[in-house]
Amino acid sequence: MPDYTGGGGVVDAGALEDSYIELFKARDPRAARLWEYAEILYSAGKLTADDVAGFINDVLLYIDKIAYDFDRVLFSVDFVAKILDSANLSADKAASILDNANLSVDKAASILDNANLSETKLQAILDNENLSIQRGQEIVDAMSNKEKIGTGGRRGYLADDWEDNKLTNRDRAATLATTFDRIFQKFRPEWDTVSGTPEVSNGRLFFDNSLEMQVPSDFVVGAWQFKFEWSESSDTDESYCFIRFMYVDDDNTYFLKLDAFVSAETRNGLGKIVNGVGSGLLSFAIDLGEHTIKITRDSDGNFEVFYDGVSKGTATDTNITTSNYINIKYTQKTYGNLYLDDLEVY
């Protein structure tokens, strides 16, 4: 019988009879003895990544064992990524492997970063419920190429719950669990304070002084969602806030204005500034108490605003097609302080 030499060195020929290789390809449990030599056989041209993926999918039932073997030096990251990418390994099984604690977060992240795992398969795995949101976020936080996860399904672009009560030097999901039901490319991002002093307390942003803060964002198609609450309402000398969700610069931006005169339709709503000239797109009244606003925009410039899940209307505008930041500009007056929470961009 021949000897096979690969990344793990020379293997006892007795363990690699050609008959067992055929059994392995046929996904016969009797060939399980070859499992630990799979990459050596692959390197020798005796097995394909699809052969190995099919054997894992149909024969190897112990997720703990698979995850453990993927984590140790038994298999290279390149090889594991090829296995996960194979159509012979279901997203269900791949997600279960990634969810297993025997596979370290760092090793899982390196596998997802690897070029041998396609974006399409990676995204199918992250969308699979066999991988918990918490575990998925921990892995994505550790990836070097987070943009690879895309958006859609259970995947989003940016989110902040401010549960760590910070704006910089943030606590990632592995330190403080996520509160969201999506996995985000940018989770608890680093905020830049342009002016003033934003505060974070009890897991919410709190504004009681004029300020401006921002975070990089090139997101232009999808949804922007957040919770807000005014401390009080007034029809005179009231505070107000611009959530500039597609912000190029001060002269070019789409915004959502929140005014402490909550019942005034003309002071709350969706608007734009183009070449320094501002105008409204959609207005509506708001209320005291905590509420959720969601703004959607498609690639044709069609906007819709939802208030606690109810549509407040639509608008169409195509003047601005790019974004550099999500920028929050708050002006403090005599009446009204503002709370913000649970920002999701997806």
List pLDDT tens digits, range 106-117: 999 999 999 999
Over residues 221-277, the pLDDT tens digits come to 999 999 999 999 988 899 999 999 999 999 999 999 999 998 888 899 999 999 999
CB 212 within 8 A of CB 326: no
Burial zone of 182 (CB within 10 Å; 0-12 exposed, 13-18 middle, 19+ buried): buried
pLDDT at 12: 52
> pLDDT digit string (tens) for 149-165?
999 999 999 999 999 99
Range scoring the smallest mean pLDDT among 7-21, 194-208, 329-343:
7-21
pLDDT of residue 235: 87
Query: What is the pLDDT at residue 1?
Result: 38
Does pLDDT of 16 surpass 60?
no
75: number of Cβ within 10 Å: 21
pLDDT recorded at residue 61: 86
Q: Higher model confidence: residue 17 or residue 140?
A: 140
* Contact (CB, 8 A) for 177 and 339: no
Phi, psi dihedral angles at 241 (to 5 degrees)? -140, 140
Of 257 and 10, the one with more pLDDT: 257
Give the residue among 203, 181, 232, 202 at the shortest CA–CA distance from 336.
232
Q: Can you tell me which residue has the tokens 């060939």?
A: 31
Please give the domain boundaries of the chain with CATH numbers for all domains: 48-151 (1.10.220), 191-345 (2.60.120.560)
- What mean pLDDT do residues 329-338 have? 94
**Residue 3, pLDDT above cutoff 80:** no
* Residue 47 neighbours by CB distance under 10 Å: 21
pLDDT, mean over the chain: 94
pLDDT at 10 over 90: no
* Angle (CA) 308 318 246, round 5°: 55
Q: Position of tokens 């976020």?
A: 137
Indicate the SS3 state at residue 38.
helix
Q: Identify whether the C-beta of residue 128 lies closer than 8 Å to the C-beta of residue 95.
A: yes
Distance CA 279, CA 252 (A): 11
Tens digit of each residue's pLDDT (9 = 90 or more) over 58-95: 999 899 999 999 999 899 999 999 999 999 999 999 99
Q: Indicate the SS3 state at residue 317.
A: coil
The HSE-up count of residue 103 (CA atoms within 13 Å, CB side) is: 29
The phi, psi pair for 315, rounded to 5°, reads -155, 155
Please check the confidence at residue 13 and state whether its pLDDT lies above 50: no
Q: What is the pLDDT of residues 187-203, one digit of tens each?
A: 999 999 999 999 999 99
> What are residue 268's phi and psi, to 5 degrees?
-130, 140
CB 259 within 8 A of CB 233: no
pLDDT of residue 307: 97
**pLDDT tier at 14 (50, 70, 90 boundaries)?**
low
